[in-house]
Amino acid sequence: MPRILLVEDEPAIADTLVYVLESECHQVSHALTGGDGLGLLEKSSYDLVILDVGLPDMTGFDVCRKIREKYQLPIIFLTARDGELDRVLGLEIGGDDYVTKPFSPREVAARVRAILRRTSAVQAQPVESKGLTIDDSTKRVVCDGKSLDLTAHEFKLAAVFLKYPGQVFSRDQLLDHAWDDPGAVTDRTVDAHVKSLRAKLRAARPGAEEMITTRRGLGYAYSPEND
Ligand code: CA
């Protein structure tokens, strides 16, 4: 049974979400503040976090940053503000999806299902390529024995590349593989995440050839000969 952590200070919203998610056979823990949510994460493991942006003790973005220091699990933001800035900020600091209030609880449940489906699809196959390894149980990419600190999207991109060495992926294909609502993001988002993934790979292996190569006009490929 997938375990979900819901951090939301409005009881009415939390109650409906808990009800709908539990009716879809998820196990839901609910925290009213960011601090309580982080406390629950320390004590137990979860498959996904639903995070309200407007919390009484800190913003959902702050909570997300703290979660990303330690965990790779997917995060969906809930926000009352319909601002492009919030959406971009949420994704930049490591969120996986974004729902604007007022929303239908069924819509949130559908996003949860989509993300969990994708995470378990990536989990299905352990992948190893010379010095680069994917550890699905911990959602980490290990490079020469060193664990890389990747966001959920960077991890998903790395998982796709490592699974199909040498294959060229268009930006659209990468959006489909690594984002749950591909229509809501642009090619530039893919470029930005590939760029940050490359930077982390470079930092892990200074001076090495670029492992993810750009194929002009086509997209990106993982080149194992450079691994
Ligand atoms: Ca709130």
Q: pLDDT per residue over 116-157, tens digit each? A: 988 775 554 445 555 678 877 777 888 877 888 898 889 989
Most confidently modeled of 82-86, 103-107, 158-162? 103-107
Task: Give residue 195's pLDDT.
Answer: 93
> Residue 222: how many CB atoms within 10 A of its CB?
23
How far does the centroid of ligand 1 lie from the alpha carbon of residue 14, in Å?
A: 10
Buried b (16+ CB within 10 A) or exposed e, 50-87: bbbbebeeebbbebbebbbeebbbbbbbbbeeeeeebb
How far does the centroid of ligand 1 lie from the alpha carbon of residue 4, in Å?
A: 18
Angle, CA 28 vertex, CA 193 and CA 74 arms, to 5°: 5
* More reliable by pLDDT, 135 or 38: 38
Most confidently modeled of 10-19, 168-177, 201-210? 10-19
How far does the centroid of ligand 1 lie from the alpha carbon of residue 83, in Å?
A: 16
Instruction: Tell me the percentage of the chain whose pLDDT exceeds 90.
Output: 38
Query: What's the token pair of residue 85?
Result: 């800035």
How far does the centroid of ligand 1 lie from the alpha carbon of residue 7, in Å?
A: 9
Angle, CA 65 vertex, CA 117 and CA 6 arms, to 5°: 50
- Helix 60-70 vs helix 34-43: angle between axes, to the nearest 10 degrees? 20
Average pLDDT over residues 90-112: 87
Enumerate the H helices of the chain as residue ranges.
11-23, 34-43, 60-70, 84-92, 105-123, 152-163, 171-178, 187-204
Confidence of residue 37 (pLDDT cuts 50, 70, 90): very high
Q: What is the mean pLDDT of the chain?
A: 85
Whether the pTM exceeds 0.75: the reply is: no
Task: Give residue 39's pLDDT.
Answer: 96
How far does the centroid of ligand 1 lie from the alpha carbon of residue 95, in Å?
A: 17
- pLDDT at residue 192 above 60? yes
Task: Tell me how far apart the alpha carbons of residues 178 and 157 are, in angstroms, rounded to a whole number.
Answer: 6
Phi then psi for residue 16, to 5 deg, are -65, -40
How far does the centroid of ligand 1 lie from the alpha carbon of residue 204, in Å?
A: 38
Query: What's the token pair of residue 20?
Result: 């709908």
* More reliable by pLDDT, 79 or 136: 79
Task: Give residue 55's pLDDT.
Answer: 95
How far does the centroid of ligand 1 lie from the alpha carbon of residue 105, in Å?
A: 15
Query: What's the token pair of residue 158?
Result: 């790395």
- Ligand 1 ion: Cβ-proximal residues, 5 Å cutoff: 9, 52, 54
- pLDDT at residue 6 above 90? yes
Task: Tell me how far apart the alpha carbons of residues 225 and 32 are, in angstroms, rounded to a whole number.
Answer: 49
Confidence of residue 48 (pLDDT cuts 50, 70, 90): very high
How far does the centroid of ligand 1 lie from the alpha carbon of residue 98, in Å?
A: 14
